[in-house]
Amino acid sequence: DTGVSQDPRHKITKRGQNVTFRCDPISEHNRLYWYRQTLGQGPEFLTYFQNEAQLEKSRLLSDRFSAERPKGSFSTLEIQRTEQGDSAMYLCASSFSWDYTDTQYFGPGTRLTVL
Amino acid sequence: DAKTTQPTSMDCAEGRAANLPCNHSTISGNEYVYWYRQIHSQGPQYIIHGLKNNETNEMASLIITEDRKSSTLILPHATLRDTAVYYCIVRLLNYGGSQGNLIFGKGTKLSVKP
């Protein structure tokens, strides 16, 4: 069990550029979540997938954000036309929905800095 | 919004027990109490969860009051590596799955001192 992995770990970009992050969940987990965390705050939910289907999206997920999980394994989160307010840690988590506890396990996060 | 209230910060001496309180007075019958922690610049780490009975695992113990309106996470012998932000989360679980996302508050910043 290698845990949840995220790539890259750090990303610095200029305002207006597009960025894409990748998350690889724990191999048998069918649910995958994206969260965003700004300094001094707890993580905030963005969206989640069960297998390939995107089941829920937060109002925080503006139209500049898009997430995909095309084969029900890894997921990508893309931010178009980045703004300075997008600077945050982007966290991915995964879980196994047939496990009654459905415990979510988090990756190390991708820290985005928008200049 | 988070359905829990936690102190902003706490200190604990190394080797002593750390007792972290959480208030969840509006918890409903099928909502569980989860605890996660987040060490600086890392992703949150699952610690423990419970419904109404006290729970213990290799990391911690969870004590839930009889009325379920509050709980305490106990780290029996705190070490410097336990310095982290600890989040108490109330989450709906029902047969066949859960509500999905976790709702985090600001948590308690625990500082373990030598």
* pLDDT band at residue B1 using 50, 70 and 90 as cut-offs: low
What is the predicted pLDDT for the residue at B103?
A: 87
pLDDT for res A10: 97
Contact B100 A56 (CB under 8 A): yes
Residue B68 banded pLDDT, cuts 50, 70, 90: very high
- Residue B100 to residue A55, Cβ atoms within 8 A: yes
Overall average pLDDT of the B31-46 stretch: 93
Q: Which residues of B touch A41 (CB under 8 A)?
A: 106
Q: What is the amino acid identity at position B22?
A: C
Contact B70, A72 (CB under 8 A): no
Q: Going along A1-115, which residue ranges are E strands?
A: 5-7, 10-13, 19-24, 31-37, 44-50, 53-57, 65-68, 75-79, 88-95, 105-106, 110-114
**Rounded to whole angstroms, how far apart are CA atoms A4 and B76?**
28
Quick one: closest CA in A to B104, which residue?
Answer: A42
Give CA separation, A62 vs A80, A82, A114, in Å. Answer: 10, 11, 17
Amino acid identity, residue A9?
R
Q: Do B106 and A42 touch (CB under 8 A)?
A: yes
Percent of chain B topping pLDDT 70: 91
* B-chain residues near A97 (CB < 8 A): 97-98
The shortest C-alpha distance from B14 to chain A (Å) reads: 25
For chain A, list residues whose CB is within 8 angstroms of any CB belonging to chain B: 4, 33, 35, 40-45, 48, 55-56, 58, 91, 93, 97, 100-109, 111
**pLDDT 10s digits, B7-23:** 999 999 999 999 999 99
In the numeric block, the tokens 């929905």 are attached to A97
- The per-residue pLDDT string of chain A (115 residues; one tens digit each, 9 = 90 and over) reads 579 999 999 999 999 999 999 999 999 899 999 999 999 899 999 999 999 999 888 888 889 999 999 988 999 999 999 999 999 999 999 998 777 777 899 999 999 999 9
Span B79-103, mean pLDDT?
A: 81
- The one-letter amino acid at A37: Q
